[in-house]
Amino acid sequence: MHQHATRSLSQRLYHPLKEWVRQGKLTAGQRLPSSRHMSDALGVSRNTVLAATDRLLAEGLLVARQGAGLYVAQLPRVLDTETAPPPKAVHYSSRGRTLLALSKTLSNGYRAFSPGVPALDLFPEAQWQRLVRQHQRNADVAWMDYQTGGGLAALKVAISDYLRLSRAVRCQPEQVIITQGAQQAFELITQLLTDPDDAVWMEEPGYGGAKACFLAAGLDVTPVPVDADGLDPALGEKSAPAPRLIYTTPSHQYPTGVTMPVTRRLALLDVAERCGGWIIEDDYDSEFRYDTPPLPSLQGLTEQAPVIYVGTFSKVLYPGLRLGYLVAPPELAPDVCRAQARLHREGHYPLQSALTAFMASGHFTRHITRMRTAYRHRQRCLRAALAPAVAAGLRLSEGHAGMHLLAELSSIEEETALVSHAAQAGITLSPLSHYYLSANKRFGLVLGYASANEQTLAWAGEWLSNAYLAHQTRTPDTPLSRDGHKTNVFQGGTLVVV
């Protein structure tokens, strides 16, 4: 249906009148015909004309002169797009420039290797949409008012029950605060617990979303190296200031994929206790372990641990849901709830109600089980496609958990070449070097496999394997073709097939 056919008659009169005024076709001071005359001339009711002109009056494009009718207002300038001034140069703050630089790691929708994107093709959309419609239709009228409880009470109960059973998190429903995703949880913690220039230990390499939040808040973000056991608190104490916050992904470090053992978790808790700091435990995809059950949380290791546990439904359900949560220690939870209501407000209560029913009905756990099986198969498919490259020296992470593999490379030149060549072929690769703050970097590719089906992964994996093999054997002046193999080049004016 054509767009204007869906508009009311008054809208169809209002829009051209507005454009004529903005473009100067109706000049400042020009008198409009009377509403009765316009009604007769256009063959519409007078109420239709009045509805359009009243809207233009409200917007200041027309002025009424008592006893004389309506006139075109004197505008500051003619808003004609053909004569509009060029776009104004934007001068970003240092924090803004840093934030934009970090944004180059954002996913652009390419499915085969997008890290952190779940299998949207396998989401039980029919059951979910039915629940959403039902809970929208039966929404409590009280939900239309401002809310200050930290989220729907029933959902907080469901989340606390789930976390106690699946992740050994020590929590009661009143400790759970519902947020609009994990990112809002990071921002809330940062605003409430830190001042500018406070130190925060950040995993190196580490998650760009948390990094951007800390930098935008003006914190002193200190990278602490990650080794085979995750963030190393001993190295942090040697080289970094005492932290106000420590950010970590202990169950499945992002992006290296390593798991933090209990001894190091306890050492990290000890550092936080001695410094009076807080640990942010980001448990973004802990549900997806393939050789063991999900690991107990860092938060649940000891009583009164200085840990704020953050989770999200973006990975287990879908990113557009924009629902996450944090579990605050009992002494902190009421103030976090108040800060949430003040800074971000609360909302989406019908959606929270639908999610509660989704969890209570068993759809949630069944979906996680199905995704765990699907992701295991998809990882195997990607490994099979990359097998020739692995045989030639490409190093892949073990992949015991999560939604991505890390392919390690030997140099920035190799990483840059593969990323650039992939872009020419319409393939997006996420370089490992972009996850570092310091100049001391490792190089590689973060390869998501959850969001693509087996056929796509087989094709993309074969392409990457061929590109890697071609790069290992080419000479510096030999470009790669779009299919990942060496190509014809000119040497001394002669076409040489290589």
At 64-118, the pLDDT tens digits run: 888 888 999 887 654 554 555 677 788 888 778 877 877 765 656 667 899 989 9
Question: Would you state the pLDDT for residue 43?
Answer: 86
Question: Would you state the pLDDT for residue 480?
Answer: 56
Question: Would you state the pLDDT for residue 29?
Answer: 87
Low-confidence ranges of the chain (pLDDT < 50): 1-5, 78, 81, 485-498
Question: Would you state the pLDDT for residue 221?
Answer: 96
Which tokens in the block code for residue 325?
A: 């949560």
> From residue 79, how far is each of 84, 276, 409 by CA, in Å?
7, 57, 54
Neighbours of 102 (CB within 10 A): 19
Question: Would you state the pLDDT for residue 102?
Answer: 73
Task: From 323, 310, 325, select the one nearest 349 (Cα to Cα).
Answer: 323
pLDDT digits (tens, 9 = 90+) for 369-417: 999 999 999 999 999 999 999 999 999 999 999 999 999 999 999 999 9
pTM: 0.80
Question: Would you state the pLDDT for residue 498?
Answer: 30
Question: Would you state the pLDDT for residue 487?
Answer: 40
Question: Would you state the pLDDT for residue 481?
Answer: 53
